[in-house]
Amino acid sequence: GQQLNQSPQSMFIQEGEDVSMNCTSSSIFNTWLWYKQDPGEGPVLLIALYKAGELTSNGRLTAQFGITRKDSFLNISASIPSDVGIYFCAGHDSTSGTYKYIFGTGTRLKVLA
Amino acid sequence: SQTIHQWPATLVQPVGSPLSLECTVEGTSNPNLYWYRQAAGRGLQLLFYSVGIGQISSEVPQNLSASRPQDRQFILSSKKLLLSDSGFYLCAWRWAGRGYEQYFGPGTRLTVT
């Protein structure tokens, strides 16, 4: 099935550094979701975006809905060890009448203390 | 508040045995329900979704089936498990008619031996 491209696939960063990752699609979405998944657990919803150009924050996390509606970005400021995990993006197009979400391939984040 | 439960948390089953995984959601009514499978270190594969009791949409032809006998209950089944059915099974829900956030359960780790 269709998957969104997430970049980078994985990254090692030093504690305290800022992190940026993105998600791109060949299709237009009107909803972007960002999740974090810890090992052995279900993904946890971090941020939901509904409007092109929208910038939304959740603590140290900030996500943006790309103006082309084909991409989204997630930034983590001042990373800490508990930021370790896999970050997934997901897109949804409610105008198509579908109930399905398209997920990204994931960005694996590892933080060096 | 809403809560999603999955059980069992882990399961080890021999090839050829039947399977039944259960998902229930509390605190909402008429949710959209989803079953995903996640292979180790991989993304999420949508298996089934349901928009109402008895309404099941299948995304991937496979050895599995789903049922929704009650509004907030979603069951994933198989008559005869294959080795390739091993994986992490995630149930998710979305509040129909109220935004497009999708929330995941804690998951079931299935190992077919």
* CB contact set of B37 (below 8 Å; sequence gap of 6+): B44, B45, B47, B87, B88, B89, B90
Average pLDDT score, chain A = 94
- The pLDDT value recorded for residue A1 is 64
Residue B25 has pLDDT above 90, yes or no: yes
Identify all chain B residues contacting A31, using CB atoms and an 8 Å cutoff: 100
pLDDT range class, residue B32, cuts 50, 70, 90 = very high
Interfacial residues of B (vs A; Cβ cutoff 8 Å): 6, 32, 34, 42-46, 49, 51, 57, 59-60, 88, 90, 92, 94, 99-107, 109
Q: Do residue A31 and residue B100 have CB atoms under 8 angstroms apart?
A: yes
With bands split at pLDDT 50, 70 and 90, how would you rate the model's confidence at B61? low
Give the CA distances from residue A31 to residues A3, A67, B54, in Å, rounded to whole numbers and listed in that order: 15, 12, 27
- Number of residue pairs across A and B with CB atoms under 8 Å? 58
Nearest CA in chain A to B100: A31
Enumerate residues 6+ apart whose C-beta is below 8 A from B48. Answer: B34, B35, B56, B57, B58, B59, B64, B66, B76
Q: What is the DSSP string of A45-74?
A: EEEEE-STT-EEEETTEEEEE-TTSSEEEE
Contact yes or no for A87/A38 (Cβ under 8 A): no
Residue A2 near residue A101 (C-beta atoms within 8 A): no
The residue of chain B nearest to residue A39, with distances taken between CA atoms, is: B41
What tokens does B19 get? 């399977």
Comparison of pLDDT for B72 and B96, the residue scoring more = B72
Whether the per-residue pLDDT at B39 is higher than 90: the answer is no
In sequence order, the β-bridge partners of residue B33 are B50, B93
A chain contacts of residue B93, beta-carbon cutoff 8 Å: none
**Tens digits of per-residue pLDDT, B72-89?**
999 999 999 999 999 999
HSE-up (13 A, CA, CB side) for residue B89: 30
- Residue among B6, B42, B49 minimizing CB distance to A100: B49
Taking only the tens place, the pLDDT of each residue in A62-84 is 999 999 999 999 999 999 999 99
| B99, pLDDT greater than 90 | no
pLDDT value for A110: 93
Average pLDDT over residues B94-109: 92
- pLDDT given at position B80: 96
User: What are the percentages of helix, strand and coil residues in chain B, rounded to 5?
Assistant: 5, 60, 40
